[in-house]
Structure 1
């Protein structure tokens, strides 16, 4: 029989999914879903006497912050954060209503089921549990329910860090996405030992634009400085280039643990094949081995018979820790001196200690509920709101505990149609998260 903590976790996750807080990235089409979700959380906290502050830098773009005092005032506070916005859906691709929060065969379906209203509902339920039971955590806990993560956090975490840093006074570490989900430790399906990944590092994310310039001319008279041709060469060079493998500390720790468990060497020569043997983990870990720069948007002329004076391409760039300048120089070398490179947003990678005491806390919590489970650091190939909190000196860790079947790829649920999570995984998440926040 489930506990009240587990029941409320499931209830709140479902109710949050039903609030359509879609973040399109376009102000005119976003609506007030984020603020409605934040007010829902605020009301549930107020029911048990927890005071919170709603911050709304723009109408509808609300975030909520609450603090629970701990028993050790000398310990650094722990930030626990979840974003309330979700990415858009193409409803025709779904077999269940994306905002219906339907449960079928023990599986909860809905946008935000893992990204990341599951954690928002979980930490809300844990906060209420502490208040009801009179539980005082060891450290101050700062709960943040944030807007705009899916578009870079400009109106959520980024805004709060720049304008309201006092809300995070004393915070030294943070817990949030993307990690905590279980993956098979060994290849044998009969061996149920699980690894629970913790993101101790995140790739940085940047957007840059390549621009080639020439002079406009009639299409019947080819020019030597055709901007489209020169841009195409640069885009081809960037898009086809594979940057060298960099064995960051987080990547190496992952390889060491899985190498020992599976009898894999992960040498420079065997790395690609050994990663491929990891099944659905291969693409996740493979993306953390090197910097990437991916052309995504091309812009040039509008008429077929006119050679345009300018052509441009936008790049999505993912940067390993400490690799900013190497990547900048690599792009310059690939694009060539006749291509202008203009940087847009540029957020550097984050990197937190691999052996901090909080890793032991995570392991103890997992052991209490999965005795053979092992917490394994890894490098997240994407980025989260931890990039903003890093500006305040806060070390961010991605750990949303979910025990799932060996063939269930949690990371594949992010931004996917029929996003889903097993209900018993949410119950597990509630139990483990409660222990983490009580003992951290």
Structure 2
């Protein structure tokens, strides 16, 4: 049986090891140039930072003065532990059940190819859209996106696209619903430095780093417990509706019989959209002050992703999106994205953005070992985009 051209292209894209921390963007660029040629569409490359290309393939609409539709995906993928995989993580192997195994199968090379193949099908069917479509392929999303989408949205190259609405990544759903994300939590990654009295491990020295770390950890984990209880006791809430705190790093010390001059404890905090950031920061400062002399926070990341895409009649793009999903019989579940995506940079520019990856009845395997997507789910998602894109762009 001949393999669908979309599946062939999907598997070819997956075989490019665009893996952090040294992604092969040049190979991605060459692959996308080939796709643009087969589509008969122009491709432009912008470099927000050296060696970090943003690739844009454009399908001009019949009324190019209208705000355009941006179909965004990222080229990079997270690292792998090959010994934990049952398949080559960059082999794009397909098993007897049609499951395609590769890093990026769900996050998010599938969506990038679905955009391309949906446009291919629409063009082959003779469809013309009123709004211009821009398919963007960006770097570095998996390491925060600051030097990819974050930089690009501030450049004239982006502003000239006149984007009215954007689609970006969502995630798989294990049931029959399709997840639709309209906002994100703000990522705060903080290292709390706890200096103290150093000395011999046999003594009971005053004001030690360990005592201060204990206080800090207790307070952060107490906050975590309250948010967990809130989530566990309210079935209407999802993980994106609460603030999560996780202890992720403890650094310091030289050996067991030496009391160190400093210990540093790291927390990953994801602030819900309802969190008052000034209040949260004051809470962190208060914890540090009460922990003892010299304790202070150092922020590795401190985002403000408060902008939300409106899901009501005031947003015509949402009206069109929802109407088409209802027509297709898709059960949408609206939520706040639990992690972070490039959508936050787009929303910060005042542009509505939907996080949507059409994968239902599928285990959530982004960043996991043996990441895969079934061929049938991939092709179903492709068909969904052939309906959603004209609905947003106007046929």
- Give the TM-score category using the shorter length: 0.7 to 0.9
Which position in structure 1 is the counterpart of 2:325?
366
Please say which of residues 235-244 and 374-383 is displaced more in the overlay.
235-244
CA contact (8 A) 1:172 1:394 kept: yes
Please say which of residues 286-295 and 66-75 is displaced more in the overlay.
66-75
Count of residue pairs the alignment pairs up: 384
Per-residue deviation, residues 58-113 of structure 1 (Å, max 9, x unmatched): 56533211332223445422211011111111111111111111111121111111
Change beyond 3 A, Cα 1:392–1:67? farther
Offset, 1:183: 4.9
Mapping 1:24-43, distance limit 5 Å: 24=21, 30-31=22-23, 33-43=24-34
CA contact (8 A) 2:152 2:158 kept: no
Offset, 1:57: 4.9
Secondary structure of 2:39's counterpart equals coil
- State TM-score, norm by structure 1: 0.80
Offset, 1:273: 5.3
Question: How many angstroms apart in 1 are the aligned matches of 2:156 and 2:213?
Answer: 43
CA contact (8 A) 1:45 1:128 kept: no
Offset, 1:142: 1.8
Question: How many angstroms apart in 2 are the aligned matches of 1:376 and 1:72?
Answer: 33
Secondary structure of 2:379's counterpart equals helix
CA contact (8 A) 1:231 1:311 kept: yes
CA contact (8 A) 1:291 1:318 kept: yes
CA contact (8 A) 2:49 2:148 kept: no
Which position in structure 2 is the counterpart of 1:190?
none
Which position in structure 1 is the counterpart of 2:11?
14
Question: How many angstroms apart in 2 are the aligned matches of 1:52 and 1:132?
Answer: 19
Offset, 1:202: 1.0
Offset, 1:217: 2.5
Which position in structure 2 is the counterpart of 1:149?
141
Correspondent of 1:177 among 169, 175, 195 = 169
Offset, 1:48: 2.7
Question: How many angstroms apart in 1 are the aligned matches of 2:214 and 2:132?
Answer: 54
Offset, 1:272: 2.4
Change beyond 3 A, Cα 1:297–1:384? same
Which position in structure 2 is the counterpart of 1:383?
340
Mapping 1:94-133, distance limit 5 Å: 94-104=85-95, 105-133=97-125
CA contact (8 A) 1:101 1:109 kept: yes
Secondary structure of 1:294's counterpart equals strand
| Structure 1 gaps, min length 5 | 25-29, 185-193, 247-267, 276-281
Mapping 1:19-418, distance limit 5 Å: 19-24=16-21, 30-31=22-23, 33-57=24-48, 60-73=51-64, 75-104=66-95, 105-166=97-158, 169-179=161-171, 181-184=172-175, 194-242=176-224, 272=232, 275=235, 286-323=238-275, 324-337=277-290, 338=292, 339-349=295-305, 350-355=307-312, 356-369=315-328, 371=329, 373-402=330-359, 404-405=360-361, 408-409=362-363, 412-418=364-370
Secondary structure of 2:346's counterpart equals helix
Which position in structure 2 is the counterpart of 1:251?
none
Secondary structure of 1:199's counterpart equals strand
CA contact (8 A) 1:235 1:335 kept: no
Question: How many angstroms apart in 2 are the aligned matches of 1:340 and 1:204?
Answer: 21
CA contact (8 A) 1:80 1:142 kept: yes
Secondary structure of 2:145's counterpart equals coil
| Structure 2 gaps, min length 5 | none
Which position in structure 1 is the counterpart of 2:376?
424
Offset, 1:415: 0.5
Offset, 1:156: 1.6
CA contact (8 A) 2:321 2:391 kept: no
Provide the aligned C-alpha RMSD in A: 2.7
Question: How many angstroms apart in 1 are the aligned matches of 2:91 and 2:191?
Answer: 39
Change beyond 3 A, Cα 1:353–1:393? same
